[in-house]
Every structure is written in structure tokens, then in C-alpha cells.
Structure 1
Amino acid sequence: MRVGVIGSGIGGLAIACRMASKGHEVTVFEKNATPGGKIGEFTLKGYRFDTGPSLFTMPELVRELYAAAGESVPSTFTYTKLDVHCKYFYNSGEQLVAWSDQQKFAEECAQKFGEDPANIFEYFKRASLIYKITADIFLFNSLHKVKNFLKLSVLKSLLQVHKIRFYKTMNAENRNNFKSPLLVQLFNRYATYNGSDPYKAPATLNVIAHLENNIGTYLPDQGIYSIVQHIYELALKKGVRFEFNSLVTSIDIKNKKAVGLSVGDTKFAFDSIVSDSDINYVMANLMKHPLKKRFDRLEPSSSALVFYWGIKKEFPELDVHNILFSGDYKREFTNLFEEKIIDNDPTVYIFVSSKMIKSDAPKNCENWFVMVNAPTNSEENWEELIRTTRQNIVDKINKSLKTKIEDHIECEKIASPITIAQDTLSKGGALYGNSSNSIFSAFLRHPNFIKSTKNLYFVGGSVHPGGGMPLCLASAKIVDNEILAP
């Protein structure tokens, strides 16, 4: 079978490997010059930066992909489990270290915030239960084929579905579990892992805490982009053909079947098409599908404003992952999703891979990936918004770290919702497709296929089961299971 894949994000690469390993002839079309989609890298004045996701969880899904391809994970693909998930800085001056050791983390919460350690352990236990209940139903199976609900494991999970707290918001559940407002804020943060609002998103998303705190966080020893590089090399080894600098302009459909795709005036015939492009872009530009009107009404996830800074100084008070929290978290999300602006006191995320990968920055220097959540682009004055937000970030860092960070910025590059949209063809620069700011949007993301169009499938963060590297890999596994199914 001839399979055409649109896009070489992590989902597109994974499905290409899986299909080629089954003996199919696979061609991947990528509009950019390199693979990776939202996962990229660049160097600037001796600093190396990962441009997309910075958190690596569930490495077993990468190992499972290699196994599905009949290969062993190469010895060059190594990663380290982090002792600290994240270091948190609060406006009030408190600091908290989120240790991977749950006992140490619970003791830290008790010492700093007076939280009962039992609340911490119970929370992680509940997050693990949510994962066990939802994994078969939502993560590794299509929600849109009846046969999947007849599996014994799924039926058992359905009997416990009330335990996933889908009827409560993340914030309501977290307030019920912790007495410390600062801990509530910490665990509310997990909504941002798929671009959502913890004051609207269902408490089921607390499952994300399981991936980080019960399974662990990791950093590839060669950087996040090395994940893409290794899967790309696996695809080449399995015979996948790549067409870079090739923007797909249409999916060709005849008699309600996908029969090929076009790159400009050149047509390519395929037996099946798999799209790893943003589903909103596909519906609006590649298919002119009637579903486009429904997509226009859906709320997009958040985007991001990122400053890549080469810092000519080392800051021992920072770890690999760091959060400088807003003083009014609810207001920040109201501004983000309702007012469509960046709060004047934004939560700032700082990722410093050179803490562990020394070659990512010159000696005695650090590479800072500095990000704040941003609304998707809808004709905002981004030049002014970037200028004012940059100053707000600088002021916040200076207050938290007691420094004058502007004196240490040696070089800078900026990514905004505008550039993210241009680079990834995501609607308005949304990082995760549509938001999960309601019960229904959280569980009813676009299917991995369209019933009205045969031989057309979808992978990646904008469709089921969702965004982030683990779920993108899961989407490829789902399509691999479904693509030849009757």
C-alpha cells in the first residue's frame, strides 16, 4: 500500500515508521527544510536552544515505537531522569522544589506550606487511578469506533468513569485536596500542558500529574530535538521517503475516498493519506470540508510568547525547569482566554537545558528558554505586546532572582503566536489545537479519521488523544491499529 503522510511532527514520523515497518511504501511531505514540526532547535552565538516541547515524559512510548518497527533503541539515544521536576518561585517570596522523590516533595510541602503529606500522597494516588481508568478508553484507542468499547478492559474502566472527576474543574478538585492556595496554584498549572484553563478544564486533566510525578520527567542527553533526530533516522532505516520544502496544497478526494495529495501543481497518488498537520488548517485549506464551520466555533488552545536568551552568567538558584508564578492566577487565565491579552504579571517558565547538557551554552553561561502563555493571534498589536511583556518578564525575573537580567542577555531570538502559526500552520499559533476548557472539548477532540472520507487519517496534537509528545506518539499507535481495520 502507498501511504502519504502530511507533516513530519512527532506523530507523522511515528506513523511513517509504523507503516513502513509493515512493508508499506511511505512518503512524508514536509513544508519545512527539516523534520520535527513544533519540535525544533537552533544555535545562536554558541548557545543551542530547543524550540518546542521541553518536557520529556513516558519514554517507554519511544521504546515501544522502536519495538513496533522491529528495532532496538540505539545506544546513542540516552536520557536522564530528573531529580527535580521543577522549581517554583512565588510572588510572595516563597520557593518550592518539586522533588521527583515523593517523600522529599511531601516533606518540602509540609515544611514550606504546612501541607499534610497525606494530601500529597493521596493526590498522586488519585492521579494514578485516573490514568488507569482513562488509558484504554481515551489514550490508546479510538473513541469513535464502537468495537473499542466492547473490550473487557474498556468496559471495566467505564464502570469507574465517575472516579475521573470529569464533572468538576481542576481548580475545584485541587482546592478540595489542598489547604495551601500556593499548592492549588502549582497543580492547576498542569492545565497549561495542553493549553487550557484550570478554572474551566475538567479535573480529569489532573492525570497529567501522574505522568510527571508517578512516572517521572526526563531530559535526553543530547537535547529534546534528539528525539526527532532518532525517530527520523529510524524512518529512513525503514525506507520512508521524505520530501522537504514541500507544502501540501490539497488532499485529493474522489468518490468519498482520499486518493492522493497535491504539492502545488504536482499530484501524487496514494492508497491512504495520514495528516499530521493542524486539523483546523486541514479542514480550512486542504479539504474545504463542511466540518470547517464547526471548527471555526471551537475555542483554540493557548499559544506562547518565547524569548530565547543567551545568558552570560550562571544562576545556581535555578534548575532545569523553573516557574515564576503570577500573583493572580485566575486573572491571568481570564485575560488569556477571554480578554485575549497577556497579563501584566504573567507566569514565567524558564527552561535551562545547559544545567545538564553543558555543551548547550558557553562556559559559565546558560541558555534560557523563557516562555509565557499567550492568546492565539487575532489581530493583536504584537509589536507592542511583545515589548511590554518582555519588560514585565525582566522585572519579574529581577525581583525573583535578585538580579539585573538585562545586563546578562548576550543574544536573543523571539517566537510569537504569529511566527508559530507561520512555522507550524497552526490556527493562530495555537500549540495544542483546540482547548480542553469544557467537559466535552476535553474528551471529544477530532477523531483520527472521518467517516465520510475513506482512507484519510489524522495524527498529532490537534486530534485525539491530544497534545504533547506522549499523546502524539499515542495518536500514531491508534492510526496504526485502525488504518487497515475494516
Structure 2
Amino acid sequence: MQVTPTPQAPRALIIGAGIAGLACAVRLRAAGYQVTVLERHAQPGGKIRTVPSAAGPIDAGPTVLTMRHVFDDLFATLGQRLDDHVNLVQQDLLARHFWPDGSTLDLCRDEGRNVEAVRRFAGNRSAAQFQRFSRRTQRLFAAFDQPMMQAADPRLATLTTTVLKQPGLIPAMAPLSTLRGMLRTAFDDPRLRQLFGRYATYVGGSPTHAPGLLSLIWQAEAAGVWVVQGGMHRLVGALSAVLRTHDVNIRTNAHVARVEIQDERAAALCLEDGTRLPCDVLVHAGDPRALATGALGPALRHIAQVTTQVPRSFSARVLSFAATPGRADLAHHNVFFQGDAEGEFRDLMAGRIPAHPSYYICALDRGQGTDPPPVERFEIITNAPATDDTTDPEDLTQWLHQITQQMAHFGMTFSPTPTVQTVTTPQAFARMFPASLGALYGQSPHGTFAALKRPRARTSISNLYLAGGGTHPGAGVPMATLSARHAVEAILNDQTSMSPSAPTATRGGMSTA
């Protein structure tokens, strides 16, 4: 569907060409807006980024898609099919897990096979516990999907009503328990508690402090995982290409200096090179903490103030490199756990680089139905605390030697061995994404009501809206993409109520009612 802007079409400016900014551009363009996206880096994508290698571009951010329906819906907004733009390979094997004692556990997309895998791994009692855990998390995901994730402005009162209407949901939530505490009652085997506790790290938190409700993240993965052939950056490339064919202007190397406010509305963006861009609607699709800290002008310091008052999520040290692995039994997703399940999180909560971290290893060229090449592309992620320091750490050589030796205990070696030049640190993330403090997931997910404290799409400035992983419904590629839908639905509702001539939308789930 080609949408041609009319001379009277409202002008929408979007700050940030990460997945949320691009998704906002798709939905606003479908609604008839003139859209310009401004990206401070040389390429769109935000945290969906790559580093070069002799084997080709290597992902240095998200590695797979879950909640595929979110992206099918996004492309359909402009009359496109996701499958016409990227090749997606659904993974039968969701993740392969390794422990220091030599035990391994594969989890796949079939629950019955998972039950049998757990039975072989830890016995009949653990298999029964897994079945109960799976039913419990299915119920939680179904209960909170619509009133929380799909809702643009979730309210505690609405969530309370949802809970009270479903007897037995409160015990399933374990409202007074951390994820660690909930898993202690769910599983006898400490390895299974360790495995499902790691889902707290998907949103930058610790199972020792995150609420038990986060156990439902398992269901987002169990419902399906897809690999984008060539890497996640292919999704960004596809969205960018579709937008350009629909006359959306994506300006890279565009540094926004400040937002110009007139009559309590965002009137224009002023770039560092002196360019002034007027707007009718402005979407900030970066970390909202940038507004609260005055990075885009003192007039916006009152926006998203909560981001300066609550702790930040974890960050990571990320290795992206090409090599030949020393063991052949890797899947696309691999997790290597350490024996001390809680030591890593004690270090992280104390603001220290973990002495004995677990490793997430993505073998980017596997899980695609073909044999991997002799030299493969890898992304290794270890948790690290966020930091306000933007200078390079001095311990990288020692740290890399240490974790290389720790991985070797699993038989996990690489030729050539990765070097410090392959590492992206929290300090580097802090430089790339100003005001983020290097946190990869925005605010910390710790605390019973942490999810309700995230900034929403609407702000106190009537034509300024927020989107991205730092806003509701949260971090991760699907959640950030959903945030764009929430922002554009708010825009269309607000613009329609203020101006009968504003464009309307009937596609992609957007409503102007």
C-alpha cells in the first residue's frame, strides 16, 4: 500500500531509528503523516547493531525474534508481508543449557518433548514440577497480556480487577515473592531454578530481586523463536527499505541538540549543525532518561522524571567475533551456567563485574537448516552493571583471559581466540546511548510494581510522545515494537480529538475512536 502525503499532512519527527522509532514511522506513515526519522549514528537500528568481521557482519545486540505476530502486524500496517522482506527460520530447539558437572538440557517448542527432556535430565519429580510450572506461567501470560503488555496505559486498578476475576491467579503470581523465591517452591533441582531464573536477565534484572511474575517470560520464548537469516540487522534493513519506498526520510548522523517548545507544545527540533525542523508531532524513541536529564533542553526536564529516581537495569559485556569453535554440539542459543548460581547476582547488585559469570553464546550461523561454515560468527553476552563512566575499563585484558579460561573448562574454545577489540562494554553503550548510563533495558525490573513505573507514551507536552524499550511495556525487541503501537494510537486519538481534519487510520490495529 503506497501512501502519498498531501501538502496538508501533519509533520511527524521521530528521534531515534531503533526498532521503536522505525515502527513508529511505519504506523505514522500508514496514517498519512509526513515522517522524518533522525538518528545520531551512521546506521539505523539502535541496539540492533553489528560489528564487521572477515565472516560478515556480526550481531552485537538482540539475536532472535519472539512474539512474531507483533512484526507481522507491523508490516501489514503498510500492506506488506514480513516474509517478503526477511527470511525467518523457526527454531525447534529454543536453547541448549550446559552446567559445570557436564549435564545438559535442551528445551524446544514442543511441551511434551520438554517434559521428557526434563525427566531424563532430573527425574520424574522434576518433570511433574516442570509441567506445573508450565501451566502456571501459561496462565500468567494469558492473564496479563491484554491488561498489561497490550494496554497503552495499564493501571493497578485494572490489573487488580483482572486478578480478582480469576480465582487462583494470586497464588500463581506469588506476589510477595521474588523470582528466586518462587522458583525455590516450584523446583527441587537447583539447576532448573537457575535455568528459569535467568529470564530475569532478559529485562536486565536479577532473580534475587525481580518479582516472581517475571516467570511468565518463559512463555514468550516457548511460544516460538525465529532466527532472521543473515542476522537481526536484516530486519532493520527491511524496515528501512519499506519506509524509504513510502517516502519516509531517515536521516543518519543527525544529532538533535534540543527540542524547541512554544506555547507548551514541541514546535521544532534543532540539530547540532544549526538545522531547524518544524513539527506537528514529535516522538522521542530513545531512552526517556535523556529528556529527564535535560540532554535535549531544560524545558523537558520534567518529562519522565521517574527515570532519574529509580535504579537502572543491568548492562553487559558483549563479544562479537568470527572463529572456529572447539566443540561441535552448539545450538543457535546456548547458555553455560556456573556452579554458584547466586554469586553472579551478588556481584551485579554490588555494582561489580561478576567473578564467575554465566555465558550466553549465540552461534549466529547455526539453527538455519544448513551446516555452519568453517569460520562462524559468534556473540557472547555476560551480564555487567550499568555505569555512569564512559571511559574504557582497564581490566579488559585480564577479564577476557579469565573468562576464556572459564569457558575452556566447558571445552568451549575458539580459534582464533577473541581479543579485547571484540568486546563492547557498558562504558561503550553509555557513549553510544547518552543518558542511558549504559543500561541496556532502561529501568530496573526489581520490585513488585516496577513494570507500572515505566513512562507511558503520552507526556505533559500535548504533542510529545515516548516510545522505546525504556517506556511501557518494556525492554526487548517485541516490547519496544509494541511501545510504538501504543505511541501512535495515542497520537491518532489525540490528534483526532483536537482536529477533525487530522488523518485517521483503519489498518494495523490503530484506532481513532
TM-score normalised to the size of structure 2? Answer: 0.87
**1:266 aligned partner, one-letter code:** T
> Is 1:464 matched up with 2:472?
yes
Residue 290 of structure 2 corresponds to which residue in structure 1?
281
Q: 1:296-307 to 2 correspondence within 5 Å?
A: 296-307=308-319
Q: Which has the higher mean CA deviation after the structures are superposed, 12-21 or 78-87?
A: 78-87
Corresponding residue to 2:126 among 109, 116, 124: 116
Letter in 1 for 2:61: G
Letter in 2 for 1:319: A
1:138-184 per-position Cα deviation (integer Å, ceiling 9, x unaligned): 112222689x95xxx99556634635333321111111111111000
Superposed CA RMSD = 2.5
Mark the CA change 1:406 to 1:364 in structure 2 (over 3 Å): closer, same or farther.
closer
- For 1:193, which of 185, 199, 202 is the aligned residue? 202
What amino acid maps onto 2:109 in structure 1? S
Q: 1:373, 1:156 → 2: CA distance?
A: 34
TM-score (normalizing by structure 1): 0.92
**Paired residue for 1:228?**
236
Say how many residue pairs are matched. Answer: 477
- Return the match for 2:381 from 371, 376, 379: 371
Kept in 2: contact 1:170–1:204 (CA 8 A): yes
Aligned to 1:98: 107
Q: Distance in 1 between matches of 2:403 and 2:391?
A: 18
- Hey, what's the Cα distance between the residues in 2 that align with 1:314 and 1:64? 41
Q: Deviations over 1:343-365 (max 9, x none)?
A: 2111111111112459997x412
The aligned counterpart of 1:416 is 425
Contact preservation (8 Å) 1:45, 1:411: no
Do structure 1's residue 353 and structure 2's residue 364 form an aligned pair? Answer: yes
- Structure with the bigger percentage of helix: 1
C-alpha distance after superposition, 1:301-325 (max 9, x if no partner)? 1111011222134631211111111
Change (3 A) 1:43 1:359: farther
Question: In the alignment, what sits opposite 1:159?
Answer: 165
Match of 2:147 among 137, 143, 148: 137
Q: Distance in 2 between matches of 1:194 and 1:26?
A: 30
**Counterpart of 2:481 in 1: which secondary structure?**
helix
How far, CA to CA, are the matches of 2:178 and 2:290 in structure 1?
A: 29
State the partner residue of 1:256. 264
User: What is the letter of the counterpart of residue 85 of structure 1?
Assistant: L
Question: What whole-Å deviation, never above 9, does each CA across 1:206-230 have from its counterpart, x for those lacking one?
Answer: 11100111x1111012321111111
Structure 2 portions without partners, runs of 5+: 1-9, 495-513
1:10-409 maps to which residues of 2 (within 5 A)? 10-114=19-123, 115-143=125-153, 156=162, 159-160=165-166, 162=170, 163-213=172-222, 215-264=223-272, 265-284=274-293, 285-288=295-298, 289-290=301-302, 294-313=306-325, 315-337=327-349, 339-356=350-367, 363-379=373-389, 382-401=392-411, 404-405=413-414, 408-409=417-418
Residue 390 of structure 1: CA displacement? 1.1
- The one-letter amino acid paired with 2:467 is V
Paired with 1:413 and 1:96, the residues of 2 have a C-alpha distance of 29
Q: Separation in 1 of the partners of 2:292 and 2:127?
A: 48
Superposed displacement of residue 83, structure 1: 1.7
Which SS does the other structure have where 2:485 is aligned? helix
How far residue 263 of structure 1 moved from its aligned partner, in angstroms, is: 0.7
Give SS of 2:114's match. helix
Superimposed CA distance per residue, residues 338-390 of structure 1 (whole angstroms, 9 cap, x where no aligned partner): x21112111111111112459997x4122121110011124498533322321
8 Å CA contact 2:51–2:320 kept in 1: the answer is no
Cα distance, 1:104 vs. partner?
2.0
Shift of 1:418: 1.5
With over 3 angstroms needed to count, the CA separation of the structure-2 counterparts of 1:408 and 1:357, relative to structure 1, is: farther
Distance 1:113 1:389, change over 3 A: farther
CA distance in 2, matches of 1:5, 1:56: 24
Distance 1:73 1:400 in 2: 39
Distance 2:80 2:331 in 1: 35
Question: Is the CA contact (8 Å cut-off) linking 2:53 and 2:321 kept in structure 1?
Answer: no
C-alpha separation between the residues in 2 aligned to 1:50 and 1:389? 22
Contact 1:134/1:157 (8 A) holds in 2? no
- Write the distance in 2 (CA, Å) between the matches of 1:61 and 1:12: 15
SS in structure 2 at match of 1:431: coil
Report the 3-state secondary structure (helix = DSSP H, G, I; strand = E; otherwise coil) of the residue aligned with 1:44: coil
Tell me if the contact between 1:171 and 1:199 (Cα under 8 Å) persists in the aligned partners. Answer: yes
CA–CA distance in 1 between the matches of 2:390 and 2:139?
A: 42
Question: In the TM superposition, what is the alpha-carbon distance from 1:406 to its structure 2 partner?
Answer: 6.2
Q: Is the 8 A contact 1:142 1:478 kept in 2?
A: yes
Judge conservation of contact 2:326–2:413 (CA < 8 Å) in 1.
no
What's the offset of the Cα at 1:68?
A: 2.0
**Deviation sequence 1:209-263 (CA, Å, 0-9, x none):** 00111x1111012321111111112222222111110011112222222222111
Letter in 2 for 1:315: R
CA distance in 2, matches of 1:325, 1:193: 15
Q: Is the 8 A contact 1:5 1:12 kept in 2?
A: yes
Distance of 1:35 and 1:404 partners within structure 2: 33
Q: Measured at CA, do residues 124 and 433 of structure 1 come closer, stay the same or move farther in structure 2, by a change above 3 Å?
A: same
Q: Where does residue 477 of structure 1 map in the other structure?
A: 485
